[in-house]
């Protein structure tokens, strides 16, 4: 098994690089994942040998592009186990997907005095669009608190839910803490109150098997670049009946059926939500990434990353004065930490000189930072292509950095 993971590393050209004269140790996959050669090749091949637009022409290149583009939609349907390919909307990423739902669902269903619920540990992209919606519609934003470990307080969610609650928006895995939320429980509670649920899967879909029918969530979103694919492409899954009831997010080509100056009628799903020339090459790249992930097996990948998390959590606590922020009972492969007397930015800067890439700052989760009484953390996030030896080297470098900064 160890040999298999070592062989997988060779699929990623970036992992053989050096930084400041040191072998690259890439521990920032929660921000964006490195790309396997097959994804790079798929994009290059498309641009070099097959490039054409989609939906709008009869010539061979356009037919090929359209077939490949539509095929990726079905790959995404299978990846999430959606019922129909029409429930898969291509977007620019998680952020646009959430904004699309906030605008369109809000326009269709949210009225003054209605309620939207988010959690304390959301990414800004799953807070700000709902704030904008509430300001626009005269709705009320409520917040699920978390305990000191970083677990959501579901009893408090039960108290927050009411007949006026229209939607609950929560992450599947927290980007700032690693908390793996009990989505099925949240969905059941929300549905019992008559509310819908959007799940931000940016940190989950690339690292574990996701079955939207089993979760029974109403919307599920993630970004291609975190799933070992290209930037500029994301997925919005929505239940068909909801998407049909929601107005378009943008107007333009492909989302129309007929246009006159008196009246425009809209296309059927999924094109109703895909205005303009789409991200064709990015979609092709995402399709290659999905093939690659499914070739590994999402359950096997998740198990590997949980091993890395357990080992990393044990080893990093040997560093003097270090405190992990976020010790939820179930976590994704993310370790956020602070060190007494040392700023996270200084840690990240010094580690970079050793070839180690970690994220520092508030991780677009300022409410989370305030809840835990810190302004910033350093964050190490793992993917299946990382190794135990890299963790050992990272911890050794971290110990030396902390010693140097405390002198």
CA distance 316 to 96: 35
DSSP H or E segment with residue 238:
strand 234-238
Closest CA relative to residue 118, chosen from 173, 159, 162, 157:
157
CA distance 331 to 327: 8
- Crossing angle of the two packed helices 298-316 and 280-296, in degrees rounded to 10: 80
Residue 141 to residues 121, 126, 217, 242, 392, Cα–Cα distance (Å): 14, 12, 20, 21, 44
Residue 138 to residues 23, 57, 195, 391, Cα–Cα distance (Å): 53, 45, 18, 49
The residue written with tokens 């609950």 in the block is: 168
DSSP assignment letter at 92: S
CA distance 123 to 222: 13
Other Cβ atoms less than 10 A from the Cβ of 48: the count is 8
Find out whether 197 and 182 touch, Cβ atoms under 8 Å.
no
- Phi first, then psi, for residue 200 (nearest 5°) are -80, 105
Find out whether 118 and 126 touch, Cβ atoms under 8 Å.
yes
Catalytic residue among 134, 217, 357, 364: 364
Taking CA 289 as the corner, what is the angle to CA 285 and CA 290, rounded to the nearest 5 degrees? 115
CA distance 270 to 132: 25
Instruction: Write out 50-73 in H/E/C secondary structure.
Output: HCCCCCCCCCHHHHHHHHHHHHHH
- For 138-252, where are the alpha helices, taking DSSP H only? 154-160, 183-192, 212-215, 240-245
Residue 95 to residues 105, 201, 220, 350, 378, Cα–Cα distance (Å): 15, 11, 12, 31, 23
Find out whether 86 and 268 touch, Cβ atoms under 8 Å.
yes
Catalytic residue check, 217: no
Other Cβ atoms less than 10 A from the Cβ of 180: the count is 21
Catalytic residue positions, numbered: 364
């Amino acid at each position: 098994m160890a040999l298999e993971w070592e062989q997988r590393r060779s699929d990623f050209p970036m992992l053989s690089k050096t930084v400041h004269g040191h072998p690259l140790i890439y521990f920032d996959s929660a921000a964006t994942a490195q790309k396997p050669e097959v994804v790079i090749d798929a994009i290059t091949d498309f641009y070099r040998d097959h490039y054409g637009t989609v939906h709008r022409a009869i010539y061979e290149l356009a037919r090929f592009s359209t077939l490949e583009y539509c095929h990726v939609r079905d790959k995404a349907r299978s990846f999430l186990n959606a019922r129909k390919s029409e429930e898969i909307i291509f977007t620019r990423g998680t952020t646009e997907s959430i904004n699309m739902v906030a605008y369109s669902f809000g326009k269709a269903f949210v009225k003054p005095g209605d309620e939207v619920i988010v959690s304390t540990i959301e990414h800004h992209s799953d807070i700000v669009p709902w704030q904008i919606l509430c300001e626009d519609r005269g709705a009320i934003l409520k917040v699920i608190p978390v305990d000191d470990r970083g677990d959501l307080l579901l009893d408090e969610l039960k108290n927050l839910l009411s007949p006026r609650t229209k939607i609950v928006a929560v992450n599947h895995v927290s980007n700032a803490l690693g908390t793996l939320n009990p989505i099925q429980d949240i969905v059941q509670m929300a549905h019992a109150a008559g509310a819908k649920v959007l799940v931000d899967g940016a940190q989950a879909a690339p690292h574990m098997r996701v079955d939207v029918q089993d979760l029974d969530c109403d919307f599920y979103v993630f970004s291609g670049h975190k799933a070992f694919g290209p930037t500029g492409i994301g997925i919005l899954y929505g239940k068909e009946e909801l998407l049909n009831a929601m107005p378009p997010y943008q107007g333009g080509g492909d989302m129309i059926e007929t246009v006159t100056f008196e009246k425009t009628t809209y296309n059927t799903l999924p094109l109703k939500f895909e205005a303009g020339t789409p991200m064709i090459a990015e979609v092709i790249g995402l399709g290659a990434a999905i093939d690659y992930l499914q070739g590994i097996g999402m359950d096997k990948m998740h198990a590997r990353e949980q091993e890395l998390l357990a080992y990393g959590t044990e080893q990093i606590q040997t560093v003097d004065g270090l405190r992990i922020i976020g010790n939820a009972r179930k976590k994704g492969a993310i370790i956020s930490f602070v060190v007494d007397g040392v700023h996270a930015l200084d840690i990240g800067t010094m580690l970079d000189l050793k070839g180690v890439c970690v994220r520092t700052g508030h991780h677009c989760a300022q409410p989370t930072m305030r809840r835990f009484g810190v302004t910033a953390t350093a964050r190490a996030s793992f993917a299946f292509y990382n190794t135990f030896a890299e963790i050992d080297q990272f911890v050794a470098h971290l110990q030396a950095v902390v010693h140097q900064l405390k002198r």
